[in-house]
A and B are shown apart, each in its own frame.
Chain A
Amino acid sequence: SAVISQKPSRDICQRGTSLTIQCQVDSQVTMMFWYRQQPGQSLTLIATANQGSEATYESGFVIDKFPISRPNLTFSTLTVSNMSPEDSSIYLCSVQTGETQYFGPGTRLLVL
C-alpha cells in the first residue's frame, strides 16, 4: 500500500494567480498521477509524472497551464497557473503500487 499526503488541503485563490500543490508519498514510486475532479464530476487524469523526465499530459491539458515537477521518487508538485473560476476543483495525487492505485486526500481549490 501507499500513504499519500497533499498540501495544502484547501485554498481560496484570486483569478489570475497560481497555486502549487505538493504531494508526498511514503515509499518510492516510479509514476505519480495528477487528477482533477470538477464539482459533480468524476476524476479526470491531468498528467503522469515520472522521475527524471517530462510529465506526460492528457488531451486537453497543457504544460503551460499545469506545470509539474518530479524531483525524486517520493515527491511531486502540480502548479495551477493563471487560475480562473473554471479551475475550481479537487486536485488529487495518485500512485500505483502493484496493481492497485492509491490516492491522496486531495486539495480543494476555489478560484474567485
Chain B
Amino acid sequence: KQEVTQIPAALSVPEGENLVLNCSFTDSAIYNLQWFRQDPGKGLTSLLLIQSSQREQTSGRLNASLDKSSGRSTLYIAASQPGDSATYLCAVKGNTPLVFGKGTRLSVIA
C-alpha cells in the first residue's frame, strides 16, 4: 500500500529565504507526482506535476525534483514571500488513485 510522508510538518522562515520541502513515498511504481498548495479552509491549487520519466519541473520560483528509484521528491521555493504561506501537499499517482501526504505548513514571516 502506497504511503506518502512529508517532512517537515511545519516550517517558518523569514521572507527572502530559499527553502526545500520534502516528500517520500514507499512504492516507486508511480505514474506521476503532483505538488499542491492549500490555503487555510480552501481547496487545492495544483503547482507542479512531474511524470515518472522526468527528473524535475519548474514554474516561476518553484522547482520540483523527482528521484523515483529512491522514492523522493523535493519542492524548492526560491526567494520566499509572505504570500507563499500555505500548506503544501505532495500526492503520487500509481495504479491507485492519488495518495496524499499530510502536508507541510509553511509560514513566511515578513
Contacts and interface: CB of A to CB of B under 8 A. Distances in A.
Contact of A99 (B42, B49, B91, B101): B49
Given A99-B51, A100-B34, A45 B98 contact: yes
Interface in B79-102: 89, 91, 93, 97-98, 100-102
Contacts of B78: none
Interface of A: 4, 6, 33, 41-45, 48, 58, 90, 92, 99-106, 108
A45 B43 contact: no
A43 B36 CA distance: 12
Contacts of A41: 102
Contact of A106 (B31, B36, B43, B51): B43
A98 B52 CA distance: 15
A41 to B, nearest CB: 7
Nearest to B45: A103
B98 A104 contact: no
Nearest to A33: B97
B44 A103 contact: yes
Contacts of A43: 44, 89, 91, 98, 100
B60 interface: no
A52 to B, nearest CB: 20
Given A45-B97, A58-B97, A108-B41, 11 more contacts: A4-B43, A42-B101, A43-B91, A92-B43, A99-B32, A99-B51, A101-B98, A102-B46, A103-B36, A105-B43, A106-B41
Contacts of B98: 43, 45, 101
Contacts of A104: 43
